[in-house]
Amino acid sequence: MSKPLIVPDVSSSNIPDKVRGILKEAIYDRRLKPGDKLPSEEDLRNQFKVSKTVMREALGQLVAEGLIEKRRGAKGGSFVAEGNADRILNVVVDCYHLGGLTIEEVIDFRRNIEPTVLELACERHEKSDLDILKINLDTCKNRLNNGDVDRENQVDFHRLIAIASHNRLLVSSMSAAIKISREFTSKLEFPFSEAKEDYEYNVEFFECIKNRNTDHARRLMSKHFERSKLLVERYKTLNR
């Protein structure tokens, strides 16, 4: 049976927020650990001395934040969620769509962080990472040989580089930035020559990773992103 939480007085304004804050603090302090089952809603209401409505609102907020999850069935209830860095992706993408981020900020983030991500991929990659990157390159090359452009996979190559860095925070944040980049570049026309140039950059990135050439990797990625300003200007012109 779950131990009662130490509950301070919540008999003031913003009661659901106070209840949520106490439960969140218990999760952050590891008094409630990932996978732990919370006391029943009735037990929590009795501990906090609040109404059913207040407790449901507080728990609902924690579910929305991804800190707890609801499970159905005989063994169901409220459980502390496992840590998942992928939540960063949804938060960043939602922020962009709601106007909290501009495409200029996203590109600026990528321009500054991707040289480091590529450098880490050079240092930390495993054989399986090289295999996945090579599959991407072969797919894009076949499309180019047929006179077509696989824009989505060419952009996604950068996400695969992040995976090869073996840092989950970088993978999540880069995945979000690349998802946004893909959305905005999908609205632009890309000459075949530009697609071919991007592919050739990806080939060079691959060679840097395979040969663990960190110095050249950083310089090459910085050079690659010099073109990003032109893409943003093209996008802004399209949307005027």
Tell me the CATH number at 141: 1.20.120.530
Structural domain includes residue 120: yes
Q: SS3 for 149? A: coil
> Are 107 and 132 in a shared domain?
yes
How many CA atoms does the CB half-sphere of 101 hold within 13 Å? 17
Q: In what helix (H) or strand (E) does residue 139 lie, and over which residues does it extend? A: helix 127-145
Domain C-terminal end among 23, 58, 80 = 80
> What percentage of residues in the chain have a pLDDT greater than 70?
89
| 92/111 Cα distance (integer angstroms) | 17
Domain that holds residue 40: 15-80
- Give the model confidence (pLDDT) of 138-156 as tens digits: 999 999 999 998 888 999 9
pTM for the structure as a whole: 0.75
User: How many domains does one find in the chain?
Assistant: 2
> Are 151 and 42 in a shared domain?
no
- Give the model confidence (pLDDT) of 31-61 as tens digits: 999 999 999 999 999 999 999 999 999 999 9
Query: Do residues 15 and 50 make contact, with C-beta atoms less than 8 angstroms apart?
Result: yes
* DSSP one-letter string for 205-229: HHHHHHTT-HHHHHHHHHHHGGGHH
> Are 147 and 62 in a shared domain?
no
Supply the pLDDT for residue 11: 53
| 85/222 Cα distance (integer angstroms) | 26
Supply the pLDDT for residue 91: 86
Q: SS3 for 94? A: helix
Q: At what angle do helices 192-210 and 214-224 cross, to 10 degrees?
A: 160
Cβ atoms within 10 Å, residue 195: 18
